Amino acid sequence: MSRIMMNRRKLLTIGSVAGTSALVSGCDAFDGVLAGRSPVRNFMESTANGLSYRVQRFLIGGHSLAQEFAEADIRQPMRPNGITAPADDTYKALSANAFADYRLEVGGMVQKPLSLSLVELMTMPARTQITRHDCVEGWSCIAKWTGVPLSQVLDLAVVKSEARYIVFHCLDTIERGLSGEVKYYESIDLVDARHPQTILAYGMNDERLPVSNGAPLRLRVERQLGYKMAKYIRAIEVVSDLAAFGFGKGGYWEDRGYEWYAGI
């Protein structure tokens, strides 16, 4: 028993070092901290990333809930961050028509690939929750989110047994560089995907989700940091491995040094 406690404390110490580095690195695309790669930092990141994932799964289990708040706690509008008005033609065409032509594609390792309209998503049983969004930049907002639990969409599609992760493909281009256009993407494991508070949100503070906050559909995965919560979702892909996407780290920001498991 005492040996386990020691190990756990050691793991938590390393985990909190990783948390500190995430806090200073921020969300800006041209962040100086990300530019300075060092072998030590790379090591700390990869070690702490794996450890904080395992420690959190061990300590809090797969299904503990993130804190939920009361209506009175919603004191400010949800501060938009990252891409807030996608300039992509496909997106602009969809939004010009109030997303009537929008389809969420669900594919990959599923038995029944789906193509769901917003109305179809909205007629599925919904969940509403008031939760706090924490960005690595160091700010938080409490807002009310309404959407369809991701687990329901996965059950409709029937996930195959080899599946391990869910990849979210987004409509917005976050980077235009020499190597071409990069679209935002993210991924979570099936434990978080099936968590009761993990929803595909189309409503915010009792209104339709605004464009700045990810219309028509964005992820809420309440036990993780803000960059995990993909906005402007185009497609959901069920996969067994993340290596094929971006630089293989599981998300746009992860490819640039952030932790894949951003548990809070």
Ligand X SMILES: Nc1nc2c(c(=O)[nH]1)N[C@H]1C(S)=C(S)[C@@H](COP(=O)(O)O)O[C@H]1N2
Residues lying near ligand X in the complex (CB under 6 A): 27, 78-83, 135, 170, 172, 174, 184, 213-214, 226-227, 229-232
99 binds, among Mo ion, ligand X, none (CB under 5 to 8 A by kind): none
- Please identify which residue in 227, 232, 245, 258 interacts with Mo ion, judged by CB under 5 A: 227
Counting Cβ atoms within 10 Å, is residue 64 exposed (0-12), middle (13-18) or buried (19+)? exposed
Site string for Mo ion, 4-33 (x = CB under 5 A): -----------------------x------
Positions in 183-212 near Mo ion (CB under 5 A): none
- Helix, strand or coil, per DSSP, at residue 111: coil
Positions in 151-190 near Mo ion (CB under 5 A): none
Give the nearest distance from C-beta 78 to ligand X in angstroms.
5
| Phi/psi at 70 (5° precision) | -95, 165
Give the nearest distance from C-beta 81 to ligand X in angstroms.
4
Q: State which residue, 184 or 261, has the beta carbon closest to ligand X.
A: 184
Query: What 8-state DSSP symbol labels residue 247?
Result: T
CB atoms inside a 10 Å sphere around CB 50: 14
User: Is residue 33 within 8 Å of 24, Cβ to Cβ?
Assistant: yes
Q: State which residue, 51 or 143, has the beta carbon closest to ligand X.
A: 143
Bridge partners of residue 114, in order along the sequence: 106
| Structure token digits, residue 93 | 């065409």
Which single residue brings its beta carbon nearest to ligand X?
A: 82
User: Is residue 164 within 8 Å of 239, Cβ to Cβ?
Assistant: yes
Neighbouring residues of 37: CB distance < 8 A, sequence distance ≥ 6: 257
Task: Give the residue among 104, 136, 126 at the shortest CA–CA distance from 117.
Answer: 104
Give the nearest distance from C-beta 1 to ligand X in angstroms.
40
Give the nearest distance from C-beta 231 to ligand X in angstroms.
4
Give the nearest distance from C-beta 226 to Mo ion in angstroms.
4
95 binds, among ligand X, Mo ion, none (CB under 5 to 8 A by kind): none
Task: Give the residue among 181, 191, 262, 192 at the shortest CA–CA distance from 227.
Answer: 262
**Alpha-carbon 147 to chain mean position:** 15
User: Is residue 132 within 8 Å of 76, Cβ to Cβ?
Assistant: no
| 135 scored as a contact of Mo ion (CB under 5 A) | yes
| Phi/psi at 158 (5° precision) | 60, 95
Give the nearest distance from C-beta 13 to ligand X in angstroms.
27
| 226 scored as a contact of Mo ion (CB under 5 A) | yes
Q: State which residue, 24 or 59, has the beta carbon closest to Mo ion.
A: 24
Give the nearest distance from C-beta 200 to ligand X in angstroms.
13
Under rule CB under 5 A, how many of the chain's residues touch Mo ion? 4
Q: Where do contacts with Mo ion occur on this chain (CB under 5 A)?
A: 27, 135, 226-227
